[in-house]
Structure 1
Amino acid sequence: MALKKALRIKKKRDFDSIFSARNSTANKKFIVYEIPSQTTHFRAAVSVSKKIGNAVVRNRIKRLVRHALVPLSSDLSQTDFVIICRQGVETLSFEEVQKNLAHVLKVSKIYKKV
């Protein structure tokens, strides 16, 4: 199951407001920028630099990260956040992506495991 379109951030002004807040958390594979959401649910976006592979590789990484968010989605707080993938994430398996993503979201207090 994929992340629903209503849960994704697409507009430039939303990205700008998240980055201008300068509230970020990071681990070795991901950086997460966040602001409190104006909606009743979380919204997420995934960004992968052009330094990491070609378009096929970058799109695969984005797909992996979005799919890794689905099982965590019931425990995510009402936050808008952007996940930036660092170099090295292209070599990770789905389980490793999910583990690293859960870690960085726990550190940033977005993911609250019940």
Structure 2
Amino acid sequence: MLKPNVLRNKKDFSALYNKGRSVGDKYVVLFLKKNGRNYNRTAFLASKKVGKSVIRNRARRLMKESYRSLGKDLPIGYDFIFIARKTILNLKCADVKKSMEAAIRRSGIKKEKK
């Protein structure tokens, strides 16, 4: 049984890249678009520019763990693609989380806490 909250199809990725918004930060790039569903779908990517497979997998794990703590505060009904930048090497999870928070805040879907 596949998880419904994971982006998989090429048409979904293409729609996000072509019609969605993108926001960059120091360690991650965020693509987002409304999906018209009652749940969020996500994907975490790291290209070969980031490094070899061990480094790419670590980058994806860092982003997934950061999203796990951020996901509860996000509005429902969006598709997200988080792409690791080469600068994500040798970082702690807290640094990646701050970068993802900044990208989400800059996108305008999540208001700053006062």
Question: 1 CA distance for matches of 2:54 and 2:65?
Answer: 17
Residue 48 of structure 1: aligned partner: 46
**TM superposition shift of 1:76:** 0.9
Listed as ranges, the gaps of 5+ residues in structure 1 are none
- Quick check: 1:75–1:113 contact (8 Å CA) kept in 2? no
Question: Which amino acid in the other structure matches residue 101 of structure 1?
Answer: M
Deviation at 1:25, TM superposition (A): 0.9
What aligned pairs does 1:4-83 form with structure 2 within 5 A after superposition?
5-77=3-75, 78-83=77-82
| Structure 1 ranges of 4+ moved more than 4 A | none
Matches within 5 A, 1:95-110: 95-110=94-109
Aligned equivalents of 1:102, 1:31: Cα separation in 2: 11
Q: Name stretches of at least 5 consecutive residues in structure 2 with no aligned partner.
A: none
Cα distance in structure 1, aligned partners of 2:111 and 2:64: 18
User: Contact 1:76–1:112 at 8 Å: present in 2 too?
Assistant: no
Provide the aligned C-alpha RMSD in A: 1.8
| TM-score of the aligned structures, taking structure 2 as reference length | 0.87
In structure 1, the residue corresponding to 2:89 is in which secondary structure? helix
Between the two proteins, the alignment pairs up a number of residues equal to 111
Distance 2:39 2:69 in 1: 15
Instruction: Give 1:96 shift.
Output: 0.5
Query: Normalising by structure 1, what TM-score?
Result: 0.87
> Aligned AA for 1:7?
N
Does the CA-based 8 Å contact 1:52-1:87 persist in structure 2? yes
1:83-102 mapped onto 2 (5 Å cutoff): 83-102=82-101
